[in-house]
Amino acid sequence: MMCQVVEEYEEPLEQEAPSVSKQCVKCKEVLAVVVIRAGDKYCRDCFDQYFRHKFRATLGKNRIIFPGERVLLAVSGGPSSSSMLRQVQEGFGQSAHKKLRFMPGIVYVDEGGAVGQSVEERRLTVAKMEDVFKAAGFPFHILPLEQILDIPTSVVALRAASSPPPASAYKAAVDDFIRNGVISDVTPQEKAGTPPPYVLASQTHALRQMMDSVKTLTAREDLMSTLRQQMLVHTARSEGYTKVMLGHNCTRLAVQLLTSISLGRGAHLARDTGFSDSRYGDVTFVRPMRDHSAKEIAYHNRLFHVQCVFTPNLHTKAKAKSSIQHLTESFVNNLQVDFPSTVSTIYRTSEKLQTACKNSSSEDHGDKCLLCMCSLDTSGEMASAFQATLISERLSADANGPLPGENPGRRGPQTGSCCRGPGQRCVEDGGCSTALRPPDTPDVRPWLCYSCQLTVKDMSCVDVLPGCILSEARRRQTRSRMREEISDFLLDD
């Protein structure tokens, strides 16, 4: 029977709005106080058990952190990293059903100098973080981002990682821990924490000058993330930690996935969004909060009074279209409101990604990016889009006249600086001065991946980069030149 044309369909469909006045779906006795998704209603105690079990299960099923291993917790004061600190703290409590077996420490990187905070504002933020860390009872380290200017070259050096242990090694380590236990070698001074070092005004000015040299906010945020990660690696190596825990939740990882694709980091998605990241060899980054959504973390922090410390960043109070990172975050969050499965769909897609790059243990040091330490993805085929971009840049640089809207002498070929001639540096009036630029400034772009090349391309000058990066680029450039000189005497691989 055909449908009647005159039949009316204007009556609204009856939909049952989610309500917290129903019983908990787990215990079915107490009224629910939290609605995570449609049909997932929990009371206070059941929600705490659900949250804690998800955190412990993420660590248990991956079996990367061995008993007695030193693990550094990267805490920024935000909701996600503060919740991660709370879960680790409860894992060592007296009432914990199964206590955690690793030896934790805390690190906080003060980025106030890069975002323009005053000295008094930075001291107030550091004092709040100290109170949170002392209450946790773990050794902590508070480091200003200005230290990135003085760290040694070893932070961008690839260190050989030990071969992956067999599957039975983890069970044997757990059995040995249960029989013998682990004796902590943390001194009382380390447990009390190290005070933040004194920062000179010249160091803050140099850091601010480096951030101001980046033209776009997109490249500035990408550079900030790279510098922060290098600080964490340097701290972990100097203090004897082999693992670094990051507080990235699944909402942030979903945004990170789309952002990385937009920034040309498609070859490194598995490392940027996976549970573990071993690009540095001896230090591995892990993300135990990757199964928790931002909504779940916000509810848990509110119900159980998890203390968070607000710290402004580069896109604080910025418009949604100010950077690719901020625009992607706004897009995903707005889409999540109308389509609640948006974040989970993107996040589950990231779980299926695998890197096609070589393993860190078998990779040559020269094949690593100077900034992000990922494999170089610039050796593509001649018909690739990257090679087409390089050809366009060369043709533009070799043209007789400047490009429309471009000053003469700018846009040097294959360099991260803004000048054409060797030993030159641009000044305010658009000209070039040989006296202002050091003659030994290396060319860093050949040792960068595609995404980091875009970041350096937005910088007005590469001389303000940390000395460890420039020194390593100079060393690689010398070795490459030496290899070309003796290429006739070398055997093919």
Give the CA diameter of the chain: 90
The predicted model scores a pTM of 0.82
Residues 6+ apart with CB under 8 A from 119: none
What's the CA gap between 491 and 467, in Å, rounded?
A: 34
What's the CA gap between 489 and 478, in Å, rounded?
A: 18
Residue tagged 């550091």 (tokens) = 126
Beginning with the edge strand found earlier in the chain, give each strand of the sheet holding 276-277 in spatial order: 140-144, 103-110, 70-74, 243-245, 284-286, 276-277
Question: Pairing mode, if any, of strands 243-245 and 276-277?
Answer: unpaired
Predicted pLDDT of residue 254: 94
What's the CA gap between 30 and 45, in Å, rounded?
A: 9
Question: Where would I find the H helices in 138-216?
Answer: 167-180, 188-192, 201-212
CA dihedral 75, 78, 82, 84 (to 10 degrees): -80
Predicted pLDDT of residue 427: 44
From the first residue on, what is the mean pLDDT of each consecutive set of 10 residues in the chain (493 residues)? 49 49 85 85 93 92 89 95 95 80 94 91 93 93 92 75 65 74 49 69 92 94 94 93 95 94 89 90 93 94 94 88 94 91 87 62 64 82 70 72 42 42 44 47 87 92 90 89 85 69
Predicted pLDDT of residue 404: 41
Write the single-letter amino acid at 70. Answer: R
- Give how far Cα 328 sits from Cα of 291, 350, 405, Å: 20, 16, 30
What's the CA gap between 357 and 378, in Å, rounded?
A: 12
**Token pair in block for residue 27:** 């215990």
Predicted pLDDT of residue 405: 40
Residue in 54, 62, 108 with CA at minimum distance from that of residue 81: 108
Question: Where would I find the H helices in 315-440?
Answer: 324-338, 342-351, 385-397
Question: Where would I find the H helices in 77-216?
Answer: 79-91, 112-115, 119-136, 167-180, 188-192, 201-212
Bridge partners of 492, per DSSP, are none
3-state secondary structure of 287: coil
Predicted pLDDT of residue 48: 94
Domains, the chain, in order of start with CATH, read 64-155+186-313+320-356 (3.40.50.620), 365-399+407-487 (no CATH)
Predicted pLDDT of residue 425: 47
* Pair 273, 353: CB distance under 8 Å: yes
* Pair 303, 44: CB distance under 8 Å: yes
Predicted pLDDT of residue 395: 82
3-state secondary structure of 12: coil
What's the CA gap between 353 and 442, in Å, rounded?
A: 35
Predicted pLDDT of residue 266: 86
Residue tagged 């773990």 (tokens) = 138
* Pair 220, 211: CB distance under 8 Å: yes
